[in-house]
């Protein structure tokens, strides 16, 4: 769990933002949606492990 | 005490980056905020583990049976988790979801404190 992950996600977000604008400018809105969905899947794959670690830590520490 | 500084820096950076991405794709910005939450939560819960050991020492020293202290610790854990989840839902605009998570957290905390309430009532019964 390091700070780099947050900046990695931010980089993906900015990249997808630029790609979306390019695609929507050239009229291919459906592909822009596809790119957004793909980016969301990538980001969720990165983050879901961290969130389960957090709630696991809370669960073990407080004996829930 | 550099933990508060680290949490502050990560929080501010994450919120600025979230604003950056919010316009074009708000869902990635929500996931980014959630990841920063997980990072700061990870640090704070580690700090709490040392507080937890002192609580164990107090319990061993003064002979209070663990039946009284474990509900308190469980209630704080439930409160923290419910608050975190509810605020994330509120951030993404789902106030009804946040309210239902808060209600569920309150009920779970009450459920954990039930044995405590029973012993209290029994004690009062013995007094009269």
Domain ranges within chain A, ordered by starting residue: 3-62
Q: ipTM above 0.90?
A: no
Query: Dihedral of CA B85/B89/B90/B95: which sign?
Result: negative
What are the tens digits of pLDDT across the range B36-59? 999 998 888 778 888 888 888 888
Residue B77 has pLDDT above 80, yes or no: yes
Residues of B in contact with A61 (CB under 8 A): 45, 48-49, 52, 77
Could B45 and A61 be called an inter-chain contact, meaning their C-beta atoms sit closer than 8 Å? yes
Binned at pLDDT 50, 70 and 90, residue A17 comes out as: very high
Contacts of A44 in chain B (CB under 8 A): 31
- Rounded to whole angstroms, how far apart are CA atoms B22 and B36? 15
Contact status, residue A37 vs residue B28, Cβ threshold 8 Å: no
The stretches of B63-94 forming alpha helices (DSSP H) are 66-91
> Is A14 in contact with B51 (CB distance < 8 Å)?
no
């Amino acid at each position: 769990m390091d700070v780099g992950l947050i900046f990695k996600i931010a980089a993906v977000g900015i990249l997808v933002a630029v790609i979306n604008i390019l695609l929507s400018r050239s009229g291919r809105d459906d592909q822009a949606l596809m790119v957004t969905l793909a980016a969301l899947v990538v980001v969720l794959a990165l983050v879901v492990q961290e969130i389960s670690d957090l709630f696991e830590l809370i669960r073990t520490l407080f004996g829930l | 005490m550099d933990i508060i500084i680290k949490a502050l820096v990560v929080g501010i950076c994450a919120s600025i980056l979230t604003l950056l991405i919010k316009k074009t794709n708000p869902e990635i910005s929500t996931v980014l905020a959630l990841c920063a939450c997980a990072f700061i939560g990870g640090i704070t819960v580690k700090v709490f583990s040392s507080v937890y050991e002192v609580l164990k020492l107090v319990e061993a020293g003064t002979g209070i049976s663990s039946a009284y202290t474990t509900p308190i610790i469980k209630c704080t854990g439930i409160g923290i988790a419910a608050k975190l989840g509810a605020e994330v839902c509120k951030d993404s605009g789902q106030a009804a979801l946040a309210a239902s998570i808060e209600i569920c957290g309150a009920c779970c905390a009450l459920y954990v404190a039930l044995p405590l309430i029973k012993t209290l009532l029994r004690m009062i019964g013995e007094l009269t």
